Chain A
Amino acid sequence: MSTELTGAEITVRCLQKEGVDHIFGYPGGAVLYIYDELFKQDKVKHVLVRHEQAAVHAADGYARSSNRVGVALVTSGPGVTNAVTGIATAYMDSIPLVIISGQVPTHAIGLDAFQEVDTVGITRPCVKHNFLVKDITELATTIKKAFYIASTGRPGPVLVDIPKDVSQQKTAFVYPERVSMRSYNPVTKGHSGQIKKAVQLILGAKRPMIYTGGGVILSDAAARLTDVVRMLGFPCTNTLMGLGGYPATDKQFVGMLGMHGTYEANMAMQHCDVLVAIGARFDDRVIGNPKHFYNEDRKIIHIDIDPSSISKRVKVDVPIVGSIPDVLDELIKLLKAGKEQPDQAALDAWWTQIDLWRARDCLKYDRASPIIKPQMVIEKLYEVTGGNAFITSDVGQHQMWAAQFYKFDLPRRWINSGGLGTMGFGLPAAMGVQFANPEGTVACVTGEASIQMCIQELSTCKQYNLPLKIVNLNNRYMGMVRQWQEFFHGNRYAESYMDALPNFVKLAESYGHVGMKIEQPGDIEDALKEAFKLKDRLVFMDFITDQTENVFPMVPGGKGLSEMILV
Chain B
Amino acid sequence: MENEAGALSRVAGLFSSRGYNIESLTVAATEDPTLSRMTLVTAGSDDVVEQITKQLNKLIEVVKVVDLSDGDHIERELMLIKMRAVGKDREEIKRMADIFRGRIIDVTDKSYTIELTGTGSKLDAFLEAMERSAILETVRTGASGIGRGERILKI
Contacts and interface: CB of A to CB of B under 8 A. Distances in A.
Interface of A: 120-121, 124-125, 128-129, 132, 149, 181-184, 306-308, 311-312, 315
A124 B63 contact: no
Contacts of A181: 60
B63 A128 contact: no
B60 A308 contact: no
Contacts of A312: 51
B1 to A, nearest CB: 7
A436 B125 CA distance: 66
Contacts of B63: 182-183
Contacts of B47: 311, 315
Chain B interface helix/strand/loop/mixed? helix
A308 B54 contact: yes
Interface residues of B, number: 20
A184 B2 CA distance: 11
A308 B13 contact: no
A128 B51 contact: no
Nearest to A181: B60
Chain A interface helix/strand/loop/mixed? mixed
B10 interface: yes
Nearest to A134: B5
Interface in B42-93: 47, 50-51, 54-55, 57-58, 60-63
A181 B5 CA distance: 17
B6 interface: yes
Given A129-B60, A182-B155, A124 B54 contact: no
9 contacts: A121-B9, A132-B5, A182-B63, A183-B60, A308-B57, A308-B58, A311-B50, A311-B51, A312-B51
Nearest to B17: A125
Contacts of B58: 306, 308
Contacts of B1: 183
A307 B57 contact: yes
Given A120-B6, A129-B60, 20 more contacts: A121-B9, A124-B6, A124-B10, A124-B13, A125-B13, A128-B60, A132-B5, A132-B6, A149-B60, A183-B2, A183-B60, A183-B62, A308-B51, A308-B54, A308-B55, A308-B58, A311-B47, A311-B51, A312-B51, A315-B47
A184 B17 contact: no
A511 B5 CA distance: 47
A202 to B, nearest CB: 25
Interface in B116-155: 155
A315 B47 CA distance: 9
Contacts of A149: 60
A120 B61 CA distance: 14
Contacts of A306: 58
A97 to B, nearest CB: 15
Interface in B15-63: 17, 47, 50-51, 54-55, 57-58, 60-63
Contact of A184 (B5, B50, B60): B60
Nearest to A321: B54
A129 B54 CA distance: 16
A132 B7 CA distance: 12
Contacts of B2: 183
Contacts of A184: 60
A202 B63 CA distance: 36
Contacts of A121: 9
Contacts of A308: 51, 54-55, 57-58
Contacts of B13: 124-125
Contacts of A183: 1-2, 60-63
B48 to A, nearest CB: 11
A565 B61 CA distance: 46
Contacts of B55: 308
In the A-B complex, list the 3 residue pairs whose CB atoms are closest, starting with the nearest.
A308-B54, A183-B63, A129-B60
Nearest to A156: B58
B8 to A, nearest CB: 12
A315 B57 CA distance: 20
A184 B58 CA distance: 8
A121 B60 CA distance: 15
A560 B147 CA distance: 44
A300 to B, nearest CB: 15
A139 to B, nearest CB: 16
A124 B9 contact: yes
A307 B56 CA distance: 11
A462 to B, nearest CB: 40
A307 B55 CA distance: 9
Contacts of A307: 54, 57
A149 B9 CA distance: 19
A567 B17 CA distance: 39
